[in-house]
Structure 1
Amino acid sequence: SDESDESEPPVSLLVADDHLKLRVVDCETLTCVGVKCAPAYGDDPVAFLVPFGENRTDELFAYACARDVAGIGRLPIDGDPNKSMGVVAHPGPVLALAVSEVVDLDTDDDDADDASRPVTTRVFTLGGGGVGDGDGDDRGSVVSVWRVDVAAARKLGDEDAILSATATKRTAAMTKAQSKISARRVAGLLEGGAFGALAEEAKDAFAFAQLRAQGEDATRDRLVDVRRGTVPLADVADVMRFLGFYLTEREVNDLAVELTYEAELAGNPKPQSVDFDRFLALYVNRRPPRDVGMEDVRRAFEVILDGEGDAVSRTSLLEMLKTSGEAMSDEELSVIAKALGGEGASVEDLFPEEVTAETFAEDVLGFLPAEVR
C-alpha cells in the first residue's frame, strides 16, 4: 500500500573503497547519496560489512578490515569515529565475516525449550596467520566467535544527556544537538583536531565565503558569524578547494545530491546553505586520506600507456585531456598554462614531446626531485 511505502526507509547499498571511505548508494536509483569515513585503523580499508538489527531504522553493522581488525558500529554511518569500535581479531588477514542470531544455551534452566531461551547476536570471523602449513593468507585459518552486547552497541556515540533520556523524552532539539556533536567528532579527525591549525584555516575560508556571498564590493556592514552563520550551497565546493581538496564536477554534484537526499529523508525542503559544522563534516568525510603521491602518478600513467612504452606523446596527452573523463576546453587549458608557466605560456610549453610520469610530476605538478625518485 501507499502508506506502507511511505513508512519504509529506502534500501541502500554500502560500498567500501581503498580510500578508507564508505559510499551509500540508493538501490532504487543506483545513485551515490553519501560518502563517509569508514572505521579506520591505519591505512587498512574495510573488506567486509554486514548490517544486522531488529528493524531497518535502528540497525547495527559488523565489519572487518583487510588486515586483522573486526568490530561493530551503528547505522546510519556518518563518519563519527565514536559510533564504531574494533579489536584485533586475528594474527593474520580476516578472510570472511558473518553475523547470526544464536539461541543461548548457557542458562540455568536445562529443561527450557529453545523458544524460551534468550537469543544473542554472534559475529563469526575467519582469519589466517595462525599455526599451520603453507605460506598463503589462509595458513592456519581459525574461526572466532564474538558475542555482541546489542544494547551497548546501540548506545555507541550517544552523549550522556541522550542516554539518560527515555525514548519518549528524546526531543527533536536533543536529536539535533546529538547530530551537531557527531559532526564535531568527525571534525576531530582533522590534523590537529577540531581546534587545530587546519580547523582554524577552515573557519577563515568559511568566513571569507560569507563575505563573498554578501558582496565583496559592498559598502554596507556585512555579517560574518562562523558559529551560527551559513554559506550558500553553491560556494561549498570553493571553500573545500581553498583548503586543498579539489573536487571534480561530479563530486560537486554528489555533494548537492547528498544534502538533498538527507533533507528528503527528514521531511525537510532542499537546503540552500550549510552551517560550519555540517560543512566541516562534509569536508572530512570526502577529502582523500592522503595527498597524491608519485605512486599515484605512476599508476595513472600505467593506465594511460596500457603497457605500451614508458612515455605518452604530447599530442596524445592533450587529446586525452580534451576528450576523456571531465573533458577540458582549450580555454581552460590556456588558463592552466598561464597559471603554471606565466603570462604568454601555452599548453605546449608545459609538456615535452614525450611525457613520462616523472616529467609530468616534476614539471607540471611541481613535485620536488626527491619526491619523484
Structure 2
Amino acid sequence: MEPALKLNWVYGFNQSANGGVHNLSVDDRQVIFYPSAHVGVIYDLFGGAQKHLLGHVHQIQCSRISHISNCIVTADQGPESTIIFWDMQKGTPLKSIMSPHPHGVEDMDLSGDGTFLVTISKSKPGEKQTLCVWDWTSGRTDPIVTRVIKEKEYQTCVRFHTKRSNEIITNGLTSVAFWAIYQEGDQLTASEQNPQKFKSEKNYNGQITQSIFLAEGTEAVSATTDGELILWADLEMRNESVIDRTMVKVLKLHDAAILCVILTNDNIVTGGADGFVRFFDGQFRVGAWFEDIKCGPVHSISFAAQEIVPGYDDGLVVAAPKFILSTRQGSIVSLDPACFENIDPSMREGNLLMQCQDGPINSIDVHPSRGIISIGGASGLIQVWDYNVKRIRTSRKFEKHQVQCLKYDPRGRLLAVGFASGLLKILSAKSLKDINRCSWRNSKDSIEHVEFSSDSMYLATADGGFCVSLYQRSKKAPSKPTTASIDPSAGAGMNDLTLHSRITEEETEEWQYVGKFRSHWKRIIGLAFRQDVGGPQLISMAEDRTLIEYDLIHCSIGGGLVLKSQVRMEQRASPCAFTWSPSVSYSDDVLITSNEEYKFKLFSGNTKACKKTLLAPTYGGPVNKIIPVADKVTFLAYSTAERVIGLVKFPLDGNPNKSMGMIAHPKEISGFCAAPDARFVFSAGGPDGSVHQWETKFDSLNQAEAKGGAGIEPYVTLIQGERNGTFWKELKEYFYYAQIRSQGEDSTDPHQLGNHIAINEIPNVMRALGFYPTESQVEDLLNEVRFGNYTETGAETESITFEQLVLLYVNHRPVFNTTKDKVEEAFRNLGLNQDGKISFLRLSKLLQQFGERFSDAELGQCFDALVLEADLANYRRSGFTPEEFSEDVLGFDGTVTADS
C-alpha cells in the first residue's frame, strides 16, 4: 500500500554538507546528486525527473560517490545515525551501517577504487574522535580499522590517497595528521604521525579548510581561509615512513578563503569564497581560471566521469571533463573547461542548473487558484515556483530584510510579506513589484502571521510583540491600467524600441492602515477571518490560552482596531494551532484547535463552548499547523514544530487508523501549506533550506481505516493489554459498579445491570481508572456527552454505553504520564524560601486563591486523607520541600500512569 503522503519533488539542497553536489553525468546523460535535508536526490536534468533516496532520519552531513563502484554514500549526524550505500543508477540502497559512531559522521571519503570507506566521528566537547575504515563491499558491517585520534584539535576533514588506499590525511583548523594502514598479525591497524601544526613566518591567522593528497608520491596540500595552499612533503625521501611529512611551502592562490580543493587528471582545482574556480598543474602554475561565474562562494566542485582520451587536450590549456559546482548562495552551475578559451566573459559564466534559497526558509504559501508556490527565506529572497513544471516564475531579493511570513490574497492578485524587521509589504503576486504606497513599518517586532479576509478587503498581521494590526483595502475604483505601447519618439525602424510596461490593476490598489492592538501577553499562534451573516469576523489566538474577536464593523482609521470579545479557550494546556472547519464536515460552524497535550478540541463558532475533545496524532510533537483539504471527503493536513507532517480524516474522532504521520524534515518545520486542489501539500525545513512537495494519496488512508476495524476496535489497541489485559477487566468492573452506585449500593432489591451508565458517574469512573480531570475538564466531558446529539435529536443525552465510555476515556485521558519530576517542577514554580521549602500557610493560600479554588473544608479533608496527623503537624510548622510534597503527600515514588 502506498503511503498517504509520497515525496514528489525537492526544492533546495544542503549547502553546508561535506561533499556538496556531485556530477553523475556520463556521455550525454546529465545527472547530478545532492542531499536535501535527510533526502538524497538524483536529478536527471534532461529528463526533468528526481529519484529520492529515503533512509536517513537526520540531516545528511556528508556524501561521496564512486564511478568505479557505481555507488553513492551518504551519512548523517545524531543518535542512531546511519551510513547508506546507494546504487548510482537505480537509487536503491545497497548496504546500511547502523550507528557507525555514537553521534554520527563528521566527514568521510571513498578510496580511489571505491572499495573502502574512511570516516571520522562527530564528537561532543571533551570526547575523543575515532577514525574508522570500512570494507563496504564485503559482508561486514563493522569497521576493519578503528583508531582513536590522538590530536586534541577537532578533525573536520578526511581523505584517502587517490592511488594508495593505505594512506589517509585528516585535518582540523590548524593541524594536519597523516595515517598509514598496515597489517599487524591477523588484523589491520593504523598509525598516526604526530599532527603537524601549520606555522608561517608571517603573522598567520588563517584556518585549514580541506586537505588532499597529490596524484603521485607522498605530497599533500591543505587549503586555508587566507586563500593559501600548504604543501606537505617528505623532504628526506624516507620510503620506510610514508606518514612523516612536514610543511614545505605556502602558496597564495586566492584573495579569499579556499573552500574546496580537489584533484582531477593531475590538475589541482580550487574553489574560493571569491566565487572563482582555478586550475593548477603539479608545479602550482595556473592553467585556467573561471572568474565570471558570479554565483557566490564556491563550496564544492565535481567532475563528470568521462575519461580524457588522447587528443582531447589538443589546443586546450587544461584537459578536464565538464564539471559542476555548488555555491553558498544556493546555486548549482555547470561548466565546460573548454569555455575558458572564449574571449566573451558571458560565455564563461557557466550554465545555471539550479537556484535555491541561500539560507533558512521561513515561510511558504500556495496560490489560491494556480499551481504556484512562493518561498520566502531569511536571506530576503522570495522565489515563485510553478510546482507543476518545476520552474521559477519570478524572484525578488530584499537585501536588508529577512522574510518572516507571506500570504496570497484569495483572488491571487496580491502577496503580503511580513519581515523580521517589522516591515509589511503588499506585492503584486505576478511580478513581486510593490503595490502603490503599500509598505508599512508599524511594529518594532517581527511580523509572524499575515492573513487576508475571504473578500480581500481586510488584511491582518500578528507580530512578535503580541500585537494584532489591521489594514483595509480602499473601496474607491483603482486607476485604469495602462497597456504596453511603443514610444514614437524612439524613431521608426530602431532596434531599441522604448516600451511602456503594462501597469496591472493590483498595482494601482490602495490599502490603508486601520490600527493596532496588543491583544495578548504570549506568542500569537495565528489569525483567522470568517464571513458571518453580520459581516466579516477576525479572531486571534495565543499561547496565553485566549481567543480574541475583533469588531471589524466598528473599526475605523480614526478609531483604530476595536476588540469585541475575549474567551479563555484552555484551562491548562497552551493552544498550538486552530482553523475553521470546512462547512461540509459539521452541521454548524466549528473552530478546531490543537494543543500541547496532543488534543484536538472542537468549539462552537458562535458560543465558543467546547463541543468535543479528541486524541490528536502523537507521531511527533504537538500539532502546530492544521489545514483542511478537500478530496471526495475532507481531510485535515497537519504539521508539528519538528520533523512530522501528516493527514487526518474527517470527521475527527480520535481513531488512530484515520491519521498518519511521516518524517518530512530532520529538524524544524518552518512552513506548511496545501495546494487548492488538494493534490499536494508542501513543507519547509527552516534551517535545512529545503521545501518538499508531497503528493496526497487519500485512498491509502481510507484503506488503513477500513483495515483497522469498526466501532471501538481501533481504540482498543490504545489501551494497555487490549481486551485480554488487566486494565480492560478493571474498566468493565468499574462500568458495572457505576450502575450499582446509580441504583443504590445498599438496596436489597436485585440490581438491573445493562449497557448504560448515568453521565454523572463518568467522572468517578475516570478517576478510578487513574485519570483525574479538573472540574473544568469534567464540565467539558459531561457537556460533550449531554449535547453530543442535541442538534440531530433535540434532546439531551443522560447515559452512555460501555463502547462510548471507552471512546471518552481514550480521547480525554492524558497522552503522557504525570511524573514526579513534573510535579516537583510545578511546586518549585510556586516559589520556595531560603530553606528550599514552601510554608504550609502560603501553599494553602495559593490553593484557595488561584485555579480551581479549594474551600477551607475541602483543603482540610484532602490533607487529612493524604497525610498522617503527626506528619501534618510537622508540615504545618516547617513547610514542604518539592520532594516531600510529591512523595509524602501525593505518594509518588516514580511515575503514575493513566492506565495504572
TM-score where L is the length of structure 2: 0.33
For the 8 Å contact 2:786–2:798, the answer to whether it is kept is no
Alpha-carbon shift at residue 188 of structure 1 (Å): 2.1
What letter matches 1:357 in structure 2?
P
Are residues 1:33 and 2:611 paired? yes
CA RMSD of superposed structures (Å): 3.1
> 1:363, 1:352 → 2: CA distance?
16
The match for 1:273 among 799, 816, 819 is 799
Alpha-carbon shift at residue 194 of structure 1 (Å): 4.0
Are residues 1:360 and 2:885 paired? yes
The residue number in structure 2 matching 1:246 is 772
Report 1:152-301 matches (<5 A).
Answer: 152-153=700-701, 157-158=705-706, 181-225=710-754, 229-301=755-827
For the 8 Å contact 2:840–2:875, the answer to whether it is kept is no
Are residues 1:74 and 2:640 paired? no
Alpha-carbon shift at residue 275 of structure 1 (Å): 0.5
Are residues 1:83 and 2:627 paired? no
Are residues 1:148 and 2:696 paired? yes
For the 8 Å contact 1:81–1:185, the answer to whether it is kept is yes
The residue number in structure 2 matching 1:124 is 682
The residue number in structure 1 matching 2:423 is none
Identity over aligned residues, as a percent? 29
Alpha-carbon shift at residue 152 of structure 1 (Å): 4.8
The residue number in structure 2 matching 1:50 is 627
Would the alpha carbon gap of residues 294 and 341 (structure 1) be closer, same or farther in structure 2, given more than 3 Å must change?
A: closer
Alpha-carbon shift at residue 159 of structure 1 (Å): 6.2
> 2:815, 2:778 → 1: CA distance?
18
> 1:308, 1:63 → 2: CA distance?
46
Secondary structure of 2:824's counterpart equals helix
> 1:25, 1:348 → 2: CA distance?
46
For the 8 Å contact 2:832–2:838, the answer to whether it is kept is no
Secondary structure of 2:676's counterpart equals strand
> 1:313, 1:306 → 2: CA distance?
8
Alpha-carbon shift at residue 60 of structure 1 (Å): 0.7
Would the alpha carbon gap of residues 75 and 307 (structure 1) be closer, same or farther in structure 2, given more than 3 Å must change?
A: farther
The match for 2:671 among 76, 88, 96 is 96
Alpha-carbon shift at residue 296 of structure 1 (Å): 1.6
Alpha-carbon shift at residue 242 of structure 1 (Å): 0.8
Would the alpha carbon gap of residues 98 and 237 (structure 1) be closer, same or farther in structure 2, given more than 3 Å must change?
A: same
The match for 2:594 among 16, 34, 37 is 16
Secondary structure of 2:661's counterpart equals strand
What letter matches 1:362 in structure 2?
E
Alpha-carbon shift at residue 83 of structure 1 (Å): 0.6
Would the alpha carbon gap of residues 311 and 183 (structure 1) be closer, same or farther in structure 2, given more than 3 Å must change?
A: same
The farther-off stretch of 349-358 and 183-192 is 349-358
> 1:34, 1:21 → 2: CA distance?
10
> 2:857, 2:789 → 1: CA distance?
37
Secondary structure of 2:789's counterpart equals helix
Q: Deviations over 1:88-140 (max 9, x none)?
A: 212223222111135xxxxxxxxxxxxxxxxx52110112xxxxxxxxxx322
Q: Deviations over 1:125-167 (max 9, x none)?
A: 112xxxxxxxxxx32221111111345545652469xxxxxxx
Alpha-carbon shift at residue 337 of structure 1 (Å): 2.3
> 2:642, 2:885 → 1: CA distance?
34
Secondary structure of 1:262's counterpart equals coil
More helix per residue: 1
In the alignment, structure 1 segments of 5+ residues that lack a partner are: 103-119, 128-137, 161-177
For the 8 Å contact 1:187–1:281, the answer to whether it is kept is no
Secondary structure of 2:712's counterpart equals helix
What letter matches 2:712 in structure 1?
A
Report 1:102-113 matches (<5 A).
Answer: none
For the 8 Å contact 2:627–2:636, the answer to whether it is kept is yes
Would the alpha carbon gap of residues 39 and 275 (structure 1) be closer, same or farther in structure 2, given more than 3 Å must change?
A: same
The residue number in structure 1 matching 2:296 is none
> 2:737, 2:650 → 1: CA distance?
35
What letter matches 1:11 in structure 2?
D
Q: Deviations over 1:220-250 (max 9, x none)?
A: 222224xxx1000000100111111112211
For the 8 Å contact 1:65–1:94, the answer to whether it is kept is yes
For the 8 Å contact 1:206–1:276, the answer to whether it is kept is yes
> 2:638, 2:888 → 1: CA distance?
43
Alpha-carbon shift at residue 35 of structure 1 (Å): 1.1
Alpha-carbon shift at residue 266 of structure 1 (Å): 3.2
> 2:720, 2:695 → 1: CA distance?
35
What letter matches 1:233 in structure 2?
I
Would the alpha carbon gap of residues 33 and 306 (structure 1) be closer, same or farther in structure 2, given more than 3 Å must change?
A: farther
What letter matches 2:687 in structure 1?
R
Alpha-carbon shift at residue 341 of structure 1 (Å): 2.7
The residue number in structure 1 matching 2:637 is 62
More strand per residue: 2
Would the alpha carbon gap of residues 8 and 279 (structure 1) be closer, same or farther in structure 2, given more than 3 Å must change?
A: closer
> 1:146, 1:329 → 2: CA distance?
55
Alpha-carbon shift at residue 289 of structure 1 (Å): 1.8
Alpha-carbon shift at residue 310 of structure 1 (Å): 4.2
Secondary structure of 2:672's counterpart equals strand
Alpha-carbon shift at residue 277 of structure 1 (Å): 0.8
Are residues 1:322 and 2:900 paired? no
Secondary structure of 1:29's counterpart equals coil
Alpha-carbon shift at residue 81 of structure 1 (Å): 0.3
For the 8 Å contact 2:867–2:888, the answer to whether it is kept is no
In the alignment, structure 2 segments of 5+ residues that lack a partner are: 1-531, 534-582, 896-900
> 2:873, 2:797 → 1: CA distance?
43
Secondary structure of 2:603's counterpart equals strand
Secondary structure of 1:209's counterpart equals helix
